[in-house]
Chain A
């Protein structure tokens, strides 16, 4: 007995030696400047641990004590980064759903501890979708290297490749889209010698050739109709220009663009003379009830001399899902002539309350516009506002709603000015928007070393199940279903 007690005492001494007590720290009356900035953010209870570190402060040891307002606590110490055990973290968030946790950070340097003012992280009552699907690609010009479409489980750090272009060398993969975040109905596009548009509905994969003799280009920017029977596309003759002034890089513009809707069951592309004009029409999306098609439209200008005049308005046209017919009138919801700005990526929330869009000075490829910000159109009262809660001095661009319309993910270049990172924020019943948080990574320094941009982050309700070998085989075969124009 004495021997056991002795061993137990030794083990206790060893264990206690693992975590040093933060004794008599110097109190600092400010919040810590942590990387990523998670101070005061609102998160879903199922999110992976918000691991963090300090970018500009040197320290020998970091001590983080987290206490739930309702119950539970976590205490960790490390030399470089604060990394929380997933299970403990998950239990803590679950126990404090609808409440908050308080994070106290202490740093030790030169043998002395200093303690920052404790900050809160709010745990939303609203759940978030299973994960995100995004493309990882270097923010390049015309040439592309290794890239792929990946899925990330939001409750852990697990990232899996859905499809990587290493499978068919020289190919480019983009335009992944899911029907209201349901991966059972999805599409993606592969460009290159073996290019095709892949549709996978309830596990059945088909490859399509979307360019027809009567349309100006292949179908891009897909958006599924809520019924799953249609996909809205635009067909764009896209070109790139390269800025020579030092703080600009790339301009992507369309020389021509139209909007079409693909009838999945009848293999027919539907269009209307109103959507196929000399003007530019692009970025079509369906309303949640499937009876309205929103899109962006701009007058045509000469690219070289007048590219800065190309400004897109937000428009809509009615759509009849029963017949596949379009209305006879186009309504301009937000006119570029009124705002003097250009709209891209309209995305209605699934509850029908809002439509989020990106606004920049001109053009439609807002990711290369530092002034691009997110805006929120209230569809119930028609008012629109800049989302200052989430915007930054740098680019905000693509965005997507969670299934319950309580969360949205958006891409931003605020981190380093070039490499796009995904941020998530919440919106409550009254339209209040929380401070966004960067998608957490196991090592919080990940984004500083990654040479990939997170492109087109989309929520997914469940894991995406694409057989990459089957896709490879189908891509390498010549078999394609030709889309037909009605």
Chain B
């Protein structure tokens, strides 16, 4: 093994790269899709100049450039793995120069890459944080190529402020790496030159953020930290300190003990131990920093975005969704699949918030709940949610997904001029330009718009009469939408689902007949359960049921009522009845229903 490594020590880098690739391409891919949609990289001079007009501009530009390739998880994963391997190779080079080309050292050159791998598992750390360290590291490696001490000092003097502008707050590691290279590798400087070097490095590290603060309206703290490493401007990205310090400490540590390393005889044992240690470090690092619950929600989000309803239902069958947003996605999928009335209570339901979540001023929730409004036909509300999500992005990067939706709705609304504006902007993207082109061809062409079945349907469903949307009266909004077009089956089912989830059976019974012309062959199972419950609990007899209720449903309810009356608790009933509406009524979604008439149980 070690012999193999001696000849091919790049094999470890390759294996590491493959591991990173597999992780992001197949296990953590929805994080990549999530990140991709929350930015809008444009191939325009304005986009370039906008990002380059502030410190860290090049890292930010390259970060957003590469992040757009997260559109496909495999290409995103490939980019991350290549960048992480580049970082490792850079550290290896430093170790080789400062310390020794020892196989004992080699495994530890992966540590900074593993740290940033773990950090990138947090969706709010941006790829620019990784690129930003590669720039000063690359510049420090270039410094090693300059033979003349004077030229090296001039190079450091020129490169430090430039690096501040290109890579942002992490630029200082270049100065430190250069000083260490002078000390540990070149060993050529006179005392005077050392003095000059220190003055230059300290001056060029301290001054740029202050100078930038005169021209750039960002808090000084952010000018020190770097503007574009983290999505939230108020967050100080402390975990990056671990990465930055590891880039210096790892080579420095081995430089200090290189004498001892050269005397080690059992290289095979120590290097193998090193590989195992670092592998374990990587395993626990990623295991602890990867957020699988978020990954699941992002998966739901990805599939409602791509309208893969069956995939969502399969995911829910595999594992019951239990977060408000994943329940929202499932309910939308069930509705689009036509199985909402029969299946929604077979899964966990968290009340009306799982149907139409209350608007949140963030960039995640509105994007997902906006999808529901879009398919319902609340086009203006859907557009509002997309716009708000885009504006809520704390790094001001805009959102390709949101902009496409805004353009689409403006197109459907006949607001062609503003639709054209967005579409022309999207033409400058890599992965949305084709859709933008197709939509541009539809501008002002009703025939082309109507040729798209989904658009044609949405245009029929959208409101013809005006009203102000009320977040607090969603049932009324759904009612108005359905009255606006009584073939809008989804509006009907959401209205009914809303009454069921709020346990408002009076309105459920009132609205239920509205669905008689919607093509139901039989009353959906949950509606039967609700109707039966209402009928019996309002003092009526089963024999006088005015609706066609399956006798099996009646028998099931009698069993449920008896079990409840005999004192069965939530756990006892969950086995046989957890997938019924009665179970939800009794045990989920807030307080159980309290009817004036005594229930029969």
Contact = CB atoms under 8 A, between A and B. Distances in A.
11 contacts: A140-B388, A141-B388, A141-B391, A143-B392, A167-B217, A169-B233, A170-B234, A244-B380, A244-B480, A245-B463, A246-B462
Interface string A158-173: 0001011011111000
A148 interface: yes
Given A143-B361, A246-B463, A417-B418, 18 more contacts: A140-B388, A141-B384, A142-B361, A164-B217, A167-B218, A169-B219, A169-B233, A244-B378, A244-B469, A245-B464, A246-B415, A247-B415, A304-B468, A416-B420, A416-B421, A418-B415, A451-B425, A469-B213
A449 B413 contact: no
A341 to B, nearest CB: 18
Nearest to B363: A143
B380 A143 contact: no
Contacts of A280: none
A447 B354 CA distance: 40
Given A167-B217, A169-B234, A248 B396 contact: no
Interface string B398-438: 10000000000000111101101100110000000000000
Interface in B310-365: 361
A304 B468 CA distance: 7
B233 A166 contact: yes
Main secondary structure of the interface of A (DSSP, over half): loop
Nearest to A162: B217
Given A140-B388, A141-B387, A145-B391, A418 B418 contact: yes
B391 A140 contact: yes
B238 interface: no
A448 B424 contact: yes
A7 interface: no
B447 interface: no
Q: Which of A140, A307, A415 has the most CB of B within 10 A?
A: A140
A3 interface: no
A472 B219 CA distance: 8
Interface of B: 44, 46, 213, 217-219, 233-234, 361, 378-381, 384, 387-388, 390-394, 396, 398, 412-415, 417-418, 420-421, 424-425, 462-470, 477, 480
Nearest to B413: A246
B396 A145 contact: yes
A145 B46 CA distance: 18
Interface string A419-434: 1000000000000000
A265 interface: no
Contacts of B390: 145
A468 interface: yes
B469 A242 contact: yes
Interface string A237-261: 0000111111111010000000000
Contacts of A448: 421, 424
A138 B414 contact: no
Contact of B391 (A138, A170, A417): A138
Contacts, number: 110
A307 B418 contact: no
A146 B217 contact: no
A31 interface: no
User: Closest 7 CB pairs between A and B?
Assistant: A241-B468, A245-B466, A246-B413, A164-B217, A169-B233, A145-B391, A146-B396
A449 B44 contact: yes
Contact of B219 (A148, A167, A415): A167
Nearest to B217: A164
A142 B233 contact: no
Given A145-B396, A243-B380, A243-B466, A417 B46 contact: no
A304 B477 CA distance: 13
A103 B519 CA distance: 66
A213 B46 CA distance: 48
A304 B470 CA distance: 9
Nearest to B421: A416
Given A145-B396, A244-B469, A449-B425, A249 B380 contact: yes
Interface in A435-454: 448-449, 451
A168 to B, nearest CB: 8
Contacts of B361: 142-143
A244 B391 contact: no
Contacts of A148: 217
A466 B392 CA distance: 28
Contacts of B381: 242, 244
Interface of A: 138, 140-146, 148, 161, 163-164, 166-170, 241-249, 251, 304, 307, 415-419, 448-449, 451, 468-469, 472
B86 to A, nearest CB: 31
B184 to A, nearest CB: 40
B380 A416 contact: no
Contacts of A249: 380, 384
B299 to A, nearest CB: 26
Q: Which of B379, B391, B394, B464 has the most CB of A within 10 A?
A: B391
Q: Which of A141, A242, A415 has the most CB of B within 10 A?
A: A242
Contacts of A241: 468-469
Contacts of B379: 246
A289 B386 CA distance: 48
Contacts of A164: 217
Contacts of B384: 141, 242, 249
A449 B392 contact: no
A419 B217 contact: no
Contacts of B392: 143, 145
Given A169-B394, A242-B384, A161 B217 contact: yes
A415 to B, nearest CB: 8
A449 B380 contact: no
A245 B380 contact: yes
A247 B378 CA distance: 13
B164 to A, nearest CB: 18
B417 A416 contact: yes
Nearest to A251: B468
A245 B466 CA distance: 5
A449 B466 contact: no
A164 B379 CA distance: 32
A169 B227 CA distance: 12
Contacts of A251: 468
Contacts of B464: 245
Nearest to A248: B466
Contact of B466 (A145, A244, A451): A244
A163 B398 CA distance: 21
A244 B396 contact: no
Contact of B388 (A143, A168, A247, A416): A143
Nearest to B379: A246
B469 A246 contact: no
B387 A244 contact: no
A252 B387 CA distance: 17
A448 B428 CA distance: 13
B468 A246 contact: no
B482 to A, nearest CB: 13
Contacts of B421: 416, 418-419, 448-449
Contacts of B466: 243-245, 248
A170 B395 CA distance: 11
A186 B415 CA distance: 38
A300 to B, nearest CB: 17
A419 to B, nearest CB: 7
B23 to A, nearest CB: 32
A166 B218 contact: yes
Contacts of B387: 138, 140-141
A145 B233 CA distance: 12
Contacts of B418: 416-419
A354 B434 CA distance: 52
A247 B468 contact: no
B468 A307 contact: yes
Nearest to B465: A245
A163 B217 CA distance: 7
A1 to B, nearest CB: 45
Contact of B468 (A141, A142, A242, A469): A242
Contacts of A163: 217
